[in-house]
Amino acid sequence: MDRNAVRWLSLLFVLPAMCSTVLAQKEGGAPEQMLYVRCGKLIDGTSQGARSNVTVVVKNDRIAEIQNGATPAGVKSEQIVDLSRETCLPGLIDTHTHVLLQGDITAADYDEQLLKQSPEYRAILATVNARRALEYGFTSIRDVETEGAGYADVDIKKAINTGVIPGPRMQVATRALDVTGAYPLLGYAPNVEVPHGVQLVDGADSARKAVREQISHGADWIKVYSDRSYKVREDGVLDDIPTFTPEELRAIVDEAHRERHKVASHAMALQGVHNSVEAGVDSIEHGNYISEDDLKTMVTRGIYYVPTIFVGAYVAQGRAAAGAPVWGKMLSIHEETFRRALKAGVKIAFGTDAGGFAWTENPAKEFAYMVKWGMTPEQAIRSATVTASALLGWSDQVGTLETGKFADIVATPGDPLADITALEKVDFVMKGGRIVKKP
């Protein structure tokens, strides 16, 4: 047999194998990976309390099965993740973060970042923050604006999704919206052009155009700043100056919803909250004061409340010392509002405003405040899992540990149902079947 005949004959055997390899790569790439996560206790998000002695079977990036009892016989030791002394939970979700901020207790801190740090440098720091969020146990986050760093959050999200950097699943709000004269940087001479932490818009048409622009550049959410300049009235109500007119807010919400996107409203006080609720936003961020009527409307319309308690406590003393004493009073008003919202049945989603405080602080400190202010530990956990995933529209993917969902699993050596601060000590993190951190 001549050499050419041998070559063609060998190709008849090699080509089918090559085709099978290519097909396997198209259908999922690497060979199937099976892991068996043995949990001493499991809070799955679908049932009351915790289950004991449970094995979560992970196939590639998904949960294949949840079994009662020990790991089945015949499983190789290298496939077993032994968390038999730990409490396992769904990956935590923080619905209010700023990975491009490093803390801004005072106006000077904020000015420093916008005036002396390039967007490129801030993006580098943000990759560190994203990794920190993941290692704290937050496998998903909603990052509600870049504070002057343009559309850098879109690229960070892309880098995470393509495996370039580690980080949580992200939804992003890019530049956020506010009106002229209402958002830093402020106070510079009129002839000095300075950057702003938001995209400035005035008028309904300008607002609609900005919504379209942000969505075209990758925004998952539209973020608006609905109030400013807070003061406590004699009757104890936290008052404010609204930013957008009702017409402008309605235009923003209408345009975002028309394009199947949601709107998050920074609204801390009476008028900002009311205007936002009437305009039909999807979430109220901070909400230090919310009137009874607006709480009722939020329940009726399914508007979420993201209270971000810890950041208020964290910045209060510094901002009061810097000449804004109202911040010292806002925390007690916030607690009273939180308790009323909880009693009214408002959907409360976990959010921390990480970035408003330094990322070296564990955002899980928020849980302790939620419990102190009236939630049970189980309610607080659900706010960061079941409720948070619903706010993000990801209930079919994350938020509970169920067959078919992403294998986003965290664990802590303590029992968060007995002591919620155990969630500040997460020592195991799995995102999409990949172990990020382990004891």
What secondary structure, in 3-state letters, does the chain show? CCHHHHHHHHHHHHHHHHHHHHHHHHCCCCCCCEEEEEEEEECCCCCCCCEEEEEEEEECCEEEEEEECCCCCCCCHHHEEEEEEEEEEECEEEEEECCCCCCCCCHHHHHHHHHHCCHHHHHHHHHHHHHHHHHHCEEEEEECCCCCCCCHHHHHHHHHHCCCCCCCEEEECCCCEECCCCCCCCCCCCCCCCCCCCEECCCHHHHHHHHHHHHHCCCCEEEEECEEEEEECCCCCEEEEECCCHHHHHHHHHHHHHCCCEEEEEECCHHHHHHHHHHCCCEEEECCCCCHHHHHHHHHHCCEEECCHHHHHHHHHHHHHCCCCHHHHHHHHHHHHHHHHHHHCCCECCCCCECCECCCCCHHHHHHHHHHCCCCHHHHHHHCCHHHHHHHCCCCCCCCCCCCCECCEEEECCCCCCCHHHHHHCCEEEECCEEEECC
Contact, 426 vs 136, CB < 8 A?
A: yes
Is 19's pLDDT higher than 60? no
> What pLDDT, on a 0 to 100 scale, did the predictor assign at position 122?
98
Contact, 346 vs 298, CB < 8 A?
A: yes
d(CA 2, CA 401): 62
Contact, 286 vs 266, CB < 8 A?
A: yes
Residue type, 415: D
Is 366's pLDDT higher than 60? yes
Is 82's pLDDT higher than 90? yes
Question: What are 201's two structure tokens?
Answer: 């818009």
CATH assignment, 92-361 = 3.20.20.140
> Strand 169-172 vs strand 138-143: parallel, antiparallel, or unpaired?
parallel
The whole-chain average pLDDT of the chain stands at: 93
Query: For residue 295, what are the CA distances in angstroms to 106, 233, 273, 306?
Result: 31, 20, 10, 13
Instruction: Compare 156 and 19 and report the one with higher pLDDT.
Output: 156
The 10 Å Cβ neighbour count of residue 141 is 31
Predicted confidence band of residue 11 (pLDDT cuts 50, 70, 90): very low
CATH 2.30.40.10 for the 34-91+403-437 domain, yes or no = yes
> What pLDDT, on a 0 to 100 scale, did the predictor assign at position 10?
45
Contact, 414 vs 422, CB < 8 A?
A: yes
Is 14's pLDDT higher than 50? no
Predicted confidence band of residue 29 (pLDDT cuts 50, 70, 90): low
Least confident of 19-23, 308-312, 415-419, 421-425: 19-23
Q: What is the pLDDT of residues 217-248, one digit of tens each?
A: 999 999 999 999 999 999 999 999 999 999 99
Is 21's pLDDT higher than 70? no
d(CA 125, CA 101): 9
Predicted confidence band of residue 9 (pLDDT cuts 50, 70, 90): very low
Least confident of 7-11, 99-103, 180-184: 7-11
The arithmetic mean of pLDDT across residues 36-50, rounded, is: 96
Contact, 170 vs 96, CB < 8 A?
A: no
Q: How far is CA 75 from the centre of its chain?
A: 36
The arithmetic mean of pLDDT across residues 358-387, rounded, is: 98
Q: What is the pLDDT of residues 276-296, one digit of tens each?
A: 999 999 999 999 999 999 999
> What pLDDT, on a 0 to 100 scale, did the predictor assign at position 74?
85
Predicted confidence band of residue 133 (pLDDT cuts 50, 70, 90): very high
d(CA 278, CA 282): 11
Question: What are 176's two structure tokens?
Answer: 């956020």
Domain ranges of the chain: 34-91+403-437, 92-361
Question: What are 39's two structure tokens?
Answer: 């949990």
> What pLDDT, on a 0 to 100 scale, did the predictor assign at position 70?
75
Least confident of 2-16, 59-73, 179-193, 334-348: 2-16
